[in-house]
Structure 1
Amino acid sequence: MRDLPSSVKLWFSPARLRAEGTTPDYRFSLANERTFLAWIRTALALVGGGLAADQFLTDLDAPVRLTVALVLLAGGALCAVRAVNHWVRCERAMRRGEDLPPSRFPAVLALAAALAAVALVAALVLVR
């Protein structure tokens, strides 16, 4: 986390990122970009799920529906921010010849999605 401010600066400055280290094999940079795009698709799906929950889960009480929608929307926002941060960190590591940075985010996202699914199933069963 202590490196976050310098990483955020690199989000908006591709020239600064290119100035670090040497250019890696383009295949690795493109694979890193594809991973970034997959995370962005996940973020968009979470945002879409939040909007759908708010509009279509009308059988749920309004506070429960709002909570589900807000959690999904916040998850989408977090996923998008995490995507760009991880992309920059990986690109920087490849340019420097370092190991790729580890990430717990996929496990956290998977657990959160599983818990959200279980909570929604429970809420829908209780409504019936």
Structure 2
Amino acid sequence: MTRPDAPSRFPRWVYGVGDEPDPRFSLANERTFLAWVRTSLAFSAAGVALEALALPVHPGFRFAASLVLVVVGVAAAVQSWWRWGQVERAVRCAAPLPGSAMTVLLTVGSVVASVLVLLGVLLR
């Protein structure tokens, strides 16, 4: 439900509902968002580095692992934005915090990339 007296802050789907929370909660949510963005950058950088350094790993597996890492990095950045908004809305509406799919995304991406690199080392 959008409040008619809500300030025009972006994104409206976040700030247009509920009441202003204690700033500490919003700032904590923002710090968590920034941590997820740093994590997404690390995944992307790892993918680029794996391919750019041309390590002694089978080229096909190296490229696949690099691709997985970069895709997970991009997906984590997008998901971190979405999660920030969901949590901010929940805080503003005094609702339960939503669950997170990001941990599954990062875990599966890490495992897949690691298995690809392992296979690439073993089969070079």
TM-score range, shorter chain: 0.7 to 0.9
Aligned to 2:54: 57
Deviations 1:45-84 (A, max 9, x none): 0110111011123423433222121111111100000000
After TM superposition, the structure 1 stretch with the greater mean CA deviation from structure 2, 68-77 or 53-62, is 53-62
Aligned to 1:3: none
Report the TM-score, using the length of structure 2 for normalisation: 0.82
Aligned-pair CA distance for 1:16: 5.0
Structure 2 residues not aligned, in runs of 5+: 1-8
Which AA in structure 2 matches 1:48? Answer: A
DSSP 3-state at the match of 1:24: coil
Partner residue of 2:66 out of 66, 69, 73: 69
Larger helix share, 1 or 2: 1
Count the aligned residue pairs.
116
Q: Percent same amino acid among aligned pairs?
A: 36
Question: 1:66–1:122: structure 2 CA closer, same or farther, 3 Å change rule?
Answer: closer
Which AA in structure 1 matches 2:66? Answer: A
Q: Work out the CA distance in 2 between the residues paired with 1:124 and 1:21.
A: 53
Which AA in structure 2 matches 1:29? Answer: S
Question: 1:66–1:114: structure 2 CA closer, same or farther, 3 Å change rule?
Answer: closer
Aligned-pair CA distance for 1:20: 1.1
Which AA in structure 2 matches 1:38? Answer: A
Aligned to 2:122: 125
**Structure 2 residue 75 is matched with structure 1 residue 78:** yes
DSSP 3-state at the match of 2:123: helix
Q: Work out the CA distance in 2 between the residues paired with 1:102 and 1:77.
A: 20
DSSP 3-state at the match of 2:31: helix
Aligned to 2:98: 101
Aligned to 1:114: 111
